[in-house]
Amino acid sequence: MSDTPAESPDFDAMTRDIAEVPAVEVIVTVAVNLMSAAAVKLGLSEEGEKYKDLDEARKLITALAGLLDGGATEISSFHAAPLRDGLKSLQLAFREASIVPDEPGQGPGEKYTGPIYG
């Protein structure tokens, strides 16, 4: 064990760094992270079934749909369109992975996007 104290983070520098990031970039980054996490929880990663958890996937997809619903007008269609396409792909993958499919309009995020049909 070392007697030197652990270096504490420089919160002022971190605040300055985040202040320089445009809101669009923050929103898109969060959306991509939600999409990636949902894909893993749907079993779409290389290790597939090891991390599959449809309950967790449902939460992540719903959060992504809410973010896109609320933020779409703020990030322009240039950024929103591919994110919406990714969301729809995740919703369809969820429907395919479910043993007992949700009724149309009741799947993850569908209260924001409307019913998704495969």
pTM equals 0.85
Query: Which of the four pLDDT bands, split at 50, 70 and 90, describes residue 3?
Result: low
Q: How many residues does the chain have?
A: 118
Residue 24 tokens read as 């669009």
Q: For every residue of the chain, which 3-state class applies, written as one string?
A: CCCCCCCCCCHHHHHHHHHCCCHHHHHHHHHHHHHHHHHHHCCCCCCHHHHCCHHHHHHHHHHHHHHHHHHHHHHHHHHHHHHHHHHHHHHHHHHHHCCCCCCCCCCCCHHHHCCCCC
Provide the token pair at 96.
């395919």
Q: State the chain's mean pLDDT as an integer.
A: 91
pLDDT value, residue 10: 84
pLDDT tens digits for 42-75? Answer: 999 998 899 999 999 999 999 999 999 999 889 9
Summarize pLDDT for 11-30 with one digit per residue, the tens: 888 787 888 999 999 999 99
Which 8-state DSSP code applies to residue 52? -
